[in-house]
Structure 1
Amino acid sequence: MTSTLLHPVPPGLRRGAARPSWKYAAPSVFYPLAGRLLPWLYAVGALLLAAGLVLGFGFAPTDAQQGDAYRIIFLHVPAAWISMVVYLAMAFWGAVGYVFGTRLSFMLMKALAPTGALAAFLCLWTGALWGRPTWGAWWVWDARLTSVLLLLFLYLGFIALQAAIEDPRRADRAGALLAVVGAVNVPVIYFSVQWWNTLHQGATIRLGAAPSMAPDMLAALLLCALGLWAWAIASVLRRLRAIVLEREAGNDWVLKLPEVGA
């Protein structure tokens, strides 16, 4: 009597078994999924951000030292978080694309850059609005401010480099190298208030420590952060879909899309 367990697994089934974990790396699979997520991300982001701003500007208590000027924190801090995490994500996907040659990784790296640049600009702009009444100056060459300005220049340099190279493959590899090298600046931003004597205050929220702010302030900050993150993810996915259509133009699956066929 022969057991079926002795028969080798067909190669096609072995390849298919790995498909669930990798199938979303295919642009043809990822494109419609991103399209379904976009309306939900925009709706959730708008609701969370609106709730956070109402709570933060309307109900959170006035700070004992900074007065109402501190309320810019509800936009400033989430923008700072997004600008740093997005750059790390851009460097990560650039490295993945560089090592494994996956097309979608390079596309995602490119789609992340404008959102990160806008978040870095928002962080600097709101920081200037906060610094004027607090420090008496719009700008100081503080370690954290300077390193965030460098982050904005890295984003802009990445975008310019991608636009200057006509060959997409060469542009992707050059952009990935710049993103990976520039990622060294992110820990400098985060630890700058600990490494140097700066005007910028330390972290308000730390892992493993109780937050140094009132519950209403913390709730408003977290709501605004989640709302801006939903917006950031939606903007990246929307831009990524456009890049996918541009680079995959001419493929059968693109030609069959209703928005392309129309």
Structure 2
Amino acid sequence: MWKWLHPYAKAEDSYALAGKLMPWFLILTIPSFIIGLVWGLLFAPADYQQGDSFRIIYIHVPAAMMAMGAYSAMAIAAFIGLVWQLRLAEMAVAATAPVGAVYTFIALFTGAAWGKPMWGAWWVWDARLTSELILLFVYMGIIALYNAFSDKVLAGRAASILTLVGVINLPIIHFSVVWWNTLHQGATITKFEQPSIATEMLIPLLVMIFSFATFLGFMILYRFRNELLKREQHRAWVIKLVHAKERG
């Protein structure tokens, strides 16, 4: 495996690989998003307690899961970058942070819209909501820290360190509904033995989670390629690439 991965330590090869993978992620995203959204909004049955208000779950839950998934991927990349001194891993951290921040904002916004009819308030200082808000602040802090340094090597290292520090918030988010008495509902789809959601509602939700995940992959690759071009703009392979596009 390491022999297969070793060539992609070169920026040029990683750029090319990301370009090959991007269309596949997009091809998977578009139909799954359309199918999941139409199925969830129009054909899934209404919840017996919440009525049609529950349908925001098809945006809220996938966004919240991908917000944490993106941060987990950043933490892995940060660890690899710091331990093995791989510049590309630190670039991946910088590329992923804005995408994860957007997913977190969507999760918070849709959660507030869902909370209003259910709890009678747009926001409560609930353990799950508060820890999710902290996640957004951590994302923003990483983005700000990375952009605060003109030396991008130092910036990548600093952003990676902050990313690893912020990992402590992930288990707090996940277990907050277990550790504290909160208004937020507990686990549903992660209880594989007996999910707390009807199959007719669960299937479109899983499709939406898949579409959010593939789009996350697409956006990370897109931003990773841009980060590579910015960091490597004076290298021969980038200059050659720009000239080739200008001629084309």
What is the TM-score normalised by the length of structure 1?
0.90
State the 1:255 CA deviation.
Answer: 2.1
1:182 to 166, 190, 208: 166
CA distance in 2, matches of 1:221, 1:208: 14
Alignment of 1:229 onto 2:213:
yes
Moved more, 139-148 or 223-232: 223-232
Q: Is the 8 A contact 1:255 1:261 kept in 2?
A: no
Partner of 1:43 in structure 2? 27
Tell me the CA shift for residue 134 of structure 1: 0.6
Q: Distance in 1 between matches of 2:9 and 2:215?
A: 22
Cα separation, 2, equivalents of 1:166 and 1:27: 20
Give CA-to-partner distance per residue, 1:55-103, whole Å, 9 cap, x none: 0001000100111110000110011111111112112211211111111
Among 222, 242, 245, the alignment partner of 2:229 is: 245
Larger mean CA deviation between 200-209 and 79-88 belongs to 200-209
1:182-234 Cα distance to aligned partner (Å, 9 max, x none):
01000000000000000000011125422121212111101111111111110
Map 1:185-196; keep pairs closer than 5 Å: 185-196=169-180
Gaps of 5+ in 1: 1-16
SS at match of 1:97: helix
Q: Measure the CA separation in 2 of the matches of 1:249 and 1:213.
A: 50
Q: Which runs of 5+ in 2 are unaligned?
A: none
Superposed displacement of residue 252, structure 1: 2.0
Give 1:32 deviation, angstroms.
1.2
Per the alignment, do residues 111 and 222 of structure 1 end up closer, same or farther by CA in structure 2, a change over 3 Å counting?
same
In structure 2, the residue matched to 1:205 is 189
Runs of 4+ in 1 over 6 A off after TM superposition: none
* AA aligned opposite 2:138: L
CA contact (8 A) 1:254 1:260 kept: no
Shift of 1:256: 2.1
CA distance in 2, matches of 1:129, 1:19: 48
1:106 matched to 2:90? The reply is yes
> SS state of the match for residue 256, structure 1?
helix
Identify which range, 243-252 or 196-205, moves more after superposition.
243-252
1:21 aligns to what?
Answer: 5
Map residues 96-175 of structure 1 onto 2, 5 A cutoff.
96-175=80-159
Q: Corresponding residue for 1:59?
A: 43
What percent of counterpart residues are identical? Answer: 47
Is 1:71 equivalent to 2:60 in the alignment? no
Structure 2 CA distance for aligned equivalents of residues 21 and 155 of structure 1 = 28
Secondary structure at 1:210 match in 2: coil
Shift of 1:25: 2.5
Query: 2: distance between equivalents of 1:235 and 1:212?
Result: 31
TM-score, structure 2 as length reference: 0.95
Distance in 1 (CA, whole Å) between partners of 2:244 and 2:151 is: 24
Asked whether the 8 Å contact 2:126–2:183 carries over to 1, the reply is: yes
Shift of the 58–208 alpha-carbon distance from structure 1 to 2, 3 Å rule, reads closer
Q: Which amino acid aligns with 1:56?
A: G
AA aligned to 1:242 is N
- Displacement after TM superposition at 1:259 (Å): 6.4
CA RMSD in angstroms, aligned pairs only: 1.5
1:25-73 deviation line (CA, Å, top 9, x unaligned): 2211111121122222122201101100000001000100111110000
1:154 & 1:252 partners in 2: Cα distance? 36
